[in-house]
Structure 1
Amino acid sequence: MRYHIGVVEDDSNIQNIVSAYLKKEGFYVTVLGSAEAAWKVWETNPPDMWILDIMLPGMDGYEFCRKIRNESEVPIVIISAKDEEIDKILGLELGGDDYLTKPFSPRELVARVKRLFKRINQSPVAEEVTQEKIKVDDLLIYKNDRRIFWDNREQEVTTKEFDMLLIFAENVNRAFSREELLVKVWGDDYFGSDRAVDDLVKRIRKKFATLPLETVWGYGYRLRNEEAH
């Protein structure tokens, strides 16, 4: 499979360098100079990953990232001249999967792109796999197919929403700290704020309103199930 990467950057030099390095590694690349142009591509020929500058003319990278996250969990690598911690945190909490500060090494960018694709495409071997089902109250998870049913209706969830729900369902009544959930869902190389965990929990609660996903104050979260021992 040849992956399609959208590069949203208004600096022509960076466009050319990033595009050249990605193409050399076999990726199909679409280069765009604005978020508005990128959104049109998203609607017609959506990439498998975005490399996104923050400081763009018109719609900025933060707003574009937010719009994409409302529709998809497609990986987003943010690149920016800003090096303040708050900018990194904001970019990641809006849904970015990684963050690079300009100037950056094109080789490092390629390495991070490859690592992200490897992480999101790890899947169980399809041959002769016994379908594993996990049920907690009205929540039913088909682990191998990565499908979730709520009150007998299938629900659309993002990759991170699925991963977090699976962690809780496999460990009912166990409290997880925010730091644990960051590592398990985002990976041990994530360096953003644990507020990303709170944001993801809010999204899950909105979709599964009566799911007993409890806050453990000052610590983290747990999925309560009185029937489990």
Structure 2
Amino acid sequence: MNANVLIAVVDDDQHIRNLVEAYLRKESYRTVGLGTAEEAWELWQTNPPDMWVLDIMLPGMDGFELCRRIRTEAEVPIIMISAKDSEVDKILGLELGSDDYMVKPFSPRELVARIKRQLSRWYKFHHAGGASQLAPSASAAITNGRLRLLPDERRVFWDGAEVDMTNKEFEMLRVFAEHPNRAFTRDELLTSVWGDDYFGSDRAVDHLIKRLRRKVEQLPIEAIWGHGYRMRAEGGEILP
């Protein structure tokens, strides 16, 4: 399967690009190395890779902006790498939609391990109907007040209007909508949406919920101090 997977490595340091690509090719992945985000965006438009290893500090457009653009169109796995070790940069990367964040200098073997795990989760979502351990694979529409999910079509509606969602956003909503009023810990949500082998911080849950709230401002998801989140059960007419 690896030979069918194309991984783009975007870094303006050619030595890092060559090193990462060499380790990936040893695992039989196909690779393409790029030095700028502009080149990477052009590749996305013409021959989109299956996964990105993306540096933040790039000439011209930076990695944050490239990540944001890619994430508006797809849930393809993204690992961000950077010499910046500040919590702010890690949080921003996760908030923009990256799946993981590594600080330079890093172990190429660890990077390859994280890439394998991200790809495994991605294929689980797209070929096995999602990784949620809490949500059954029922095909019936799921409704909660003005929220309506169509699992078979992976579509979300609010007040009858369709809202574009990435795969993780959809899975998070499905967990909440199928268990209204249930309080979930961040760890439970991480396991359900990202899988039980997730490497990163539980702050990823907070950032994903922020993304959902930006798309649907009145979404009835409540923070539970010191615990996690729940979605209130709401009545009302569901528009088709």
Query: Normalised by the size of structure 1, how large is the TM-score?
Result: 0.81
Per-residue deviation, residues 19-55 of structure 1 (Å, max 9, x unmatched): 1222232322121001111111112221111101122
Moved more, 133-142 or 69-78: 133-142
Any conservation in 1 of the 2:94–2:207 contact (CA below 8 Å)?
no
Counterpart secondary structure, 2:7: strand
Query: Which amino acid in 2 is paired with 1:162?
Result: F
Query: Which amino acid in 2 is paired with 1:109?
Result: L
Any conservation in 1 of the 2:83–2:105 contact (CA below 8 Å)?
yes
Q: What value does the CA root-mean-square deviation take over the aligned residues? A: 2.7
Tell me whether 1:22 sits opposite 2:30 in the alignment: no
Query: Which amino acid in 1 is paired with 2:212?
Result: I
Correspondence for 2:201: 192
Structure 2, unmatched stretches of 5+, are: 130-136, 236-240
**Equivalent-residue separation in structure 2 for 1:97 and 1:82 (angstroms):** 17
Counterpart secondary structure, 2:80: strand
- 1:7-156 alignment to 2 at 5 Å? 7-122=9-124, 123-124=127-128, 131-152=139-160, 154-156=162-164
Query: Which amino acid in 2 is paired with 1:140?
Result: R
* Post-superposition offset of 1:56: 1.6
**Equivalent-residue separation in structure 1 for 2:206 and 2:103 (angstroms):** 25
Correspondence for 2:172: 164
Moved more, 75-84 or 175-184: 175-184
Query: Which amino acid in 2 is paired with 1:59?
Result: M
Q: 1:38 to 1:197 in 2, by over 3 A?
A: same
Counterpart secondary structure, 2:98: coil
* Post-superposition offset of 1:12: 1.4
**Equivalent-residue separation in structure 1 for 2:110 and 2:206 (angstroms):** 30
**Equivalent-residue separation in structure 1 for 2:213 and 2:104 (angstroms):** 37
Query: Greater relative contact order: 1 or 2 (C-alpha under 8 angstroms, separation 6 or more)?
Result: 2
The sequence identity of aligned pairs, in percent, is 57
* Post-superposition offset of 1:83: 3.0
Tell me whether 1:224 sits opposite 2:232 in the alignment: yes
Any conservation in 2 of the 1:124–1:144 contact (CA below 8 Å)?
no
Counterpart secondary structure, 1:43: helix
Counterpart secondary structure, 2:117: helix
Any conservation in 2 of the 1:92–1:192 contact (CA below 8 Å)?
no
* Post-superposition offset of 1:115: 1.0
**Equivalent-residue separation in structure 1 for 2:233 and 2:212 (angstroms):** 17
Q: 1:41 to 1:101 in 2, by over 3 A?
A: same
Query: Which amino acid in 2 is paired with 1:33?
Result: G
Query: Which amino acid in 2 is paired with 1:191?
Result: G
* Post-superposition offset of 1:216: 4.1
**Equivalent-residue separation in structure 1 for 2:138 and 2:207 (angstroms):** 33
Any conservation in 2 of the 1:21–1:107 contact (CA below 8 Å)?
yes
Correspondence for 1:173: 181
Q: 1:78 to 1:135 in 2, by over 3 A?
A: same
